[in-house]
Amino acid sequence: MATIYDVARRAQVSAATVSRVLNGRETVDPALAERVLAAVGELGYRRNAVARNLRKQQTSLWAVIISDVENPFFTSMVRGIEDVASAAGCSVVLCNSDENPEKESRYIAVALGEQMAGVIISPSSDRVEDLNLLSSSGCPVVMVDRELKGVRGDAVLVDNENGAEEATAHLVEQGYERIACITGPQRASTATERLRGYRNALEAAGRRANDTLIRMANFRADGGHDAMASLLDEQQPPDAVFVTNNLMTVGALECLVERRLDIPGDVALVGFDEVPWADLVRPSITTVAQPTYEEGRAAAELLARRIAEPDRALTRQILRTSLRVRASSTSHP
C-alpha cells in the first residue's frame, strides 16, 4: 500500500505538500498540486484513515447504537441520520445492542477506542457512567428515542406520555371497559412514560388503572405474545389492549389470531410505533405513529452541531406523535 512518502517521491515534493494537497485547506502551488494528484492516481494511493485518526485524535465516523436492528422503527430513523451525516462528510456505522446491556457496553467501548466523532444511541441499559465516559472523553453523545437521566448529552424524544394518553383515551371513547396495557422494561424511559400516559387517560375518564391488566414485557414480539396470553388467561380478560411498541404489538396480534379472537369485536388493539404493514394486516392496526425519519435527522443535526460547538448548552428536543386510527380499535358493538 502506497504512503504519502511514495507519492511525495514520485511527485518530487515533500510529504507535507502531499498532505496539504490532499486536505485542500492550505494553498499549494497549482503545478505541484497537479503533480501530486497525478502521482496519487498512478500509485493508486489511498489515505490511511487509521494513521490520520491517530494524528488528529478523531474519526469522521459516527456510531449509531440501536437497541434492535430488527425493529423497523430504528431502520427508518437510520436513514434520517445517514442523510445528515453524509452532508457533513461523515460516515455512519450501526451497532446493534440487541437490548443487551453487555453488548451495548461493548459497542460504547468500541466507539471510544476507535475515537469515533460522535455517538447516537437509544440506550438499552441504565448505566449512565458508560455514556458519560464517552462524553467526557470528547465523544459527544446524543440520545434518541430513550432518555437516560444524568447523561451529559443532547436528546431527541417524542412525547410518549401524551401519545399513550391519546391512544388510551381513544379506546375509552370507543366504549371499551377493560383496557389493558402491555409495556416494556422499566429501565426504558419510553416504557414508563407510555405506561404513565395510559394511567393518565384512565384517570381522566374517572377510572383507575387495574394492575391485573398491566404487563411489563421485553419490547420484542415474543414478549408481546406471552403478555397477551397471560392477559387473556385472567379471570376477567381485557376487551382492549394498548401495546407500547411495534414488535410487541405483532406478538400480541399473533396471540389473538392463534386464539381465533375477533379484533376488535372480542379484543381491540392499539399499538405504539408505526409498522410498515399496519395497513396490510386484517384488521388494519391503529397505531401511535412517531416521525422516525425526523427523529433521526434531528438527532444527527444535534450531533453535527455539538461536534462543531462542543460547549453549547445541552438540548432536549421533543417531537409529537400522531394517532392513526384504523380498524383494530373501531366499530365496537
Partner DNA sequence: TTGTAGGCGTTATCAC
Partner DNA sequence: GTGATAACGCCTACAA
Pick the piece of the chain touching a copy of itself (CB under 8 A) from 61-69, 144-152, 227-235, 305-313.
Answer: 61-69
Dist. CA 82–CA 77, nearest whole Å: 9
Q: Which of 12, 137, 186, 322 binds a copy of itself (CB under 8 A)?
A: 137
Q: What would the grid cell of residue 255 be?
A: 396471540
What is the CB-side half-sphere exposure of residue 100 using CA atoms within 13 A? 9
Q: How far is CA 112 from CA 23, 118, 156, in A?
A: 25, 9, 22
Closest distance between a copy of itself and the C-beta of residue 241, in Å?
15
Residue 87 binds a copy of itself, judged by CB under 8 A? no
CA angle in degrees (0–180, nearest 5) for 277-278-281: 80
Q: What would the grid cell of residue 185 be?
A: 422494561
Closest distance between DNA and the C-beta of residue 11, in Å?
9
Dist. CA 270–CA 241, nearest whole Å: 6
Residue 29 binds DNA, judged by CB under 7 A? yes
Q: Which of 32, 88, 94, 205 binds a copy of itself (CB under 8 A)?
A: 94
Residue 331 binds a copy of itself, judged by CB under 8 A? no
Amino acid in the structure at residue 243: V
199's enclosing H/E stretch is helix 189-204
Place of cell 459516527: 62
Alpha-carbon Rg of the chain, whole angstroms?
25
Nearer to a copy of itself, 195 or 263 (CB): 263
What x-and-dash track marks residues 3-42 binding a copy of itself by CB under 8 A?
A: ----------------------------------------
Closest distance between a copy of itself and the C-beta of residue 174, in Å?
22
With CB cut-offs between 5 and 8 Å by kind, which of a copy of itself, DNA, none does residue 317 bind? none
Cis omega (within 30 of 0) for bond into 264: yes
Closest distance between a copy of itself and the C-beta of residue 6, in Å?
15
The answer to whether 267 touches 241, Cβ cutoff 8 Å, is yes
Q: Which of 34, 41, 56, 312 binds DNA (CB under 7 A)?
A: 56
Nearer to DNA, 308 or 313 (CB): 308
Dist. CA 136–CA 151, nearest whole Å: 10
The pairing of strands 286-289 and 91-96 is unpaired
Task: Give contact residues for a copy of itself (rule: CB under 8 A).
Answer: 1, 46-51, 53-54, 59, 61, 63, 69-70, 72, 75-76, 78-79, 82, 86, 91-96, 98, 103, 106-107, 109-110, 112-115, 137, 221, 250, 253-254, 257, 275-277, 279-282
Task: Give contact residues for DNA (rule: CB under 7 A).
Answer: 1, 3-5, 12-17, 19-20, 22-23, 25-29, 31-32, 45-48, 51-52, 54-57
